[in-house]
Amino acid sequence: MLRGEHELRKMNNFTSTNSKTNASFFLISSNFNQEKKEDLQVKFAWKMNDGTYAISSLPLEKIRIKFDPNSQAPVIKFKWIRYPFGINYRVAQTQELMDKYVCYAVLVIREEDWPTKIHLPLNE
Protein backbone atom coordinates (compact mmCIF):
# COMPACT_ATOMS: atom_id res chain seq x y z
CA MET A 1 0.00 0.00 0.00
CA LEU A 2 2.83 2.43 0.81
CA ARG A 3 5.24 1.29 -1.90
CA GLY A 4 6.23 3.61 -4.77
CA GLU A 5 5.34 7.21 -5.60
CA HIS A 6 1.86 8.54 -4.92
CA GLU A 7 0.21 11.62 -6.44
CA LEU A 8 -0.71 14.37 -4.01
CA ARG A 9 -3.96 16.28 -4.38
CA LYS A 10 -4.43 18.55 -1.38
CA MET A 11 -2.34 19.41 1.61
CA ASN A 12 -2.92 21.45 4.75
CA ASN A 13 -1.45 21.81 8.22
CA PHE A 14 -3.29 21.87 11.54
CA THR A 15 -2.50 21.75 15.23
CA SER A 16 -3.39 18.64 17.18
CA THR A 17 -3.84 18.93 20.95
CA ASN A 18 -3.41 15.92 23.21
CA SER A 19 -4.06 16.16 26.91
CA LYS A 20 -3.67 13.67 29.72
CA THR A 21 -4.92 14.02 33.28
CA ASN A 22 -3.95 11.86 36.25
CA ALA A 23 -5.42 12.07 39.71
CA SER A 24 -4.77 9.93 42.76
CA PHE A 25 -6.16 10.07 46.28
CA PHE A 26 -5.03 8.42 49.47
CA LEU A 27 -6.92 9.12 52.70
CA ILE A 28 -6.75 12.93 53.01
CA SER A 29 -3.95 13.66 50.53
CA SER A 30 -4.31 13.92 46.78
CA ASN A 31 -2.19 14.34 43.69
CA PHE A 32 -3.34 15.95 40.44
CA ASN A 33 -1.28 16.10 37.25
CA GLN A 34 -2.33 17.48 33.87
CA GLU A 35 -0.25 17.37 30.71
CA LYS A 36 -1.08 19.16 27.44
CA LYS A 37 0.85 18.71 24.21
CA GLU A 38 0.33 20.44 20.85
CA ASP A 39 1.68 18.93 17.64
CA LEU A 40 1.76 20.46 14.17
CA GLN A 41 0.29 17.91 11.76
CA VAL A 42 0.24 17.84 7.95
CA LYS A 43 -2.92 16.44 6.40
CA PHE A 44 -2.82 15.34 2.76
CA ALA A 45 -4.78 13.40 0.14
CA TRP A 46 -2.70 10.84 -1.73
CA LYS A 47 -3.42 8.35 -4.48
CA MET A 48 -3.01 4.78 -3.29
CA ASN A 49 -1.78 1.94 -5.49
CA ASP A 50 -5.34 0.77 -6.18
CA GLY A 51 -6.25 4.16 -7.71
CA THR A 52 -8.32 5.44 -4.78
CA TYR A 53 -7.41 8.49 -2.69
CA ALA A 54 -6.78 8.34 1.04
CA ILE A 55 -6.64 11.25 3.47
CA SER A 56 -3.88 10.87 6.03
CA SER A 57 -1.84 12.99 8.41
CA LEU A 58 1.72 12.94 9.72
CA PRO A 59 3.57 15.14 12.21
CA LEU A 60 5.49 17.96 10.54
CA GLU A 61 8.75 16.40 11.78
CA LYS A 62 8.13 13.35 9.56
CA ILE A 63 7.86 15.40 6.34
CA ARG A 64 10.89 15.90 4.08
CA ILE A 65 11.09 17.92 0.84
CA LYS A 66 13.02 16.97 -2.28
CA PHE A 67 13.28 19.39 -5.21
CA ASP A 68 13.09 17.87 -8.69
CA PRO A 69 13.04 20.29 -11.67
CA ASN A 70 11.56 17.53 -13.87
CA SER A 71 8.60 16.84 -11.58
CA GLN A 72 5.31 17.23 -13.42
CA ALA A 73 3.06 16.94 -10.36
CA PRO A 74 3.76 16.72 -6.62
CA VAL A 75 4.24 13.17 -5.36
CA ILE A 76 4.84 11.63 -1.97
CA LYS A 77 7.04 8.63 -1.13
CA PHE A 78 6.95 6.85 2.21
CA LYS A 79 9.80 5.31 4.18
CA TRP A 80 8.29 2.70 6.43
CA ILE A 81 9.26 -0.17 8.65
CA ARG A 82 8.09 -3.60 7.57
CA TYR A 83 4.75 -4.70 8.90
CA PRO A 84 4.98 -7.25 11.66
CA PHE A 85 3.49 -10.66 11.11
CA GLY A 86 -0.13 -10.71 12.16
CA ILE A 87 -1.18 -7.31 10.76
CA ASN A 88 -3.28 -7.51 7.63
CA TYR A 89 -2.35 -4.27 5.88
CA ARG A 90 -5.22 -4.74 3.41
CA VAL A 91 -7.80 -4.27 6.16
CA ALA A 92 -5.79 -1.93 8.41
CA GLN A 93 -6.86 1.70 8.40
CA THR A 94 -4.48 3.96 6.46
CA GLN A 95 -4.03 6.31 9.43
CA GLU A 96 -3.10 3.36 11.63
CA LEU A 97 -0.34 2.49 9.14
CA MET A 98 0.84 6.14 9.12
CA ASP A 99 0.96 6.34 12.91
CA LYS A 100 2.68 3.03 13.58
CA TYR A 101 4.83 2.18 10.56
CA VAL A 102 5.76 5.32 8.56
CA CYS A 103 9.20 6.65 9.56
CA TYR A 104 8.97 9.70 7.28
CA ALA A 105 7.52 10.89 3.97
CA VAL A 106 9.35 12.65 1.13
CA LEU A 107 7.49 15.24 -0.96
CA VAL A 108 8.96 15.50 -4.45
CA ILE A 109 8.14 18.89 -6.01
CA ARG A 110 9.59 21.54 -8.28
CA GLU A 111 11.43 24.28 -6.41
CA GLU A 112 9.23 27.00 -7.90
CA ASP A 113 6.17 25.27 -6.39
CA TRP A 114 7.64 25.70 -2.91
CA PRO A 115 7.17 29.30 -1.76
CA THR A 116 10.19 30.99 -0.24
CA LYS A 117 8.15 32.67 2.48
CA ILE A 118 6.24 29.93 4.20
CA HIS A 119 4.08 31.02 7.10
CA LEU A 120 4.40 28.33 9.74
CA PRO A 121 4.50 28.63 13.51
CA LEU A 122 8.18 27.62 13.39
CA ASN A 123 8.95 30.88 11.54
CA GLU A 124 7.47 33.12 14.20
Q: How many residues does the chain have?
A: 124
Q: Give the residue-averaged pLDDT of 104-116.
A: 85
pLDDT beyond 60 at 117:
no
Give mean pLDDT, residues 19-45.
70
What confidence score (pLDDT) does residue 59 get? Answer: 92
Work out the pLDDT band at 80, boundaries 50, 70, 90: confident
- pLDDT at site 69: 92
The mean per-residue pLDDT over the stretch 44-58 comes to 91
Tell me the three-class secondary structure of the chain, residue by residue: CCCCEEEEEEEEEEEEEEEEEEEEEECCEEEEEEEEEEEEEEEEEEECCCCCEEEEEEEHHHEEEEECCCCCCCEEEEEECCCCCCCCCCCCCHHHHHHHHEEEEEEEECHHHCCCCCCCHHHC
Output the pLDDT for position 32. Answer: 63
**Is this prediction's pTM over 0.85?**
no
Give pLDDT tens digits for 88-107: 655 568 888 888 889 999 99
Whether the pLDDT of residue 123 is over 60: the answer is no
Give the whole-number percent of the chain exceeding pLDDT 70.
Answer: 64
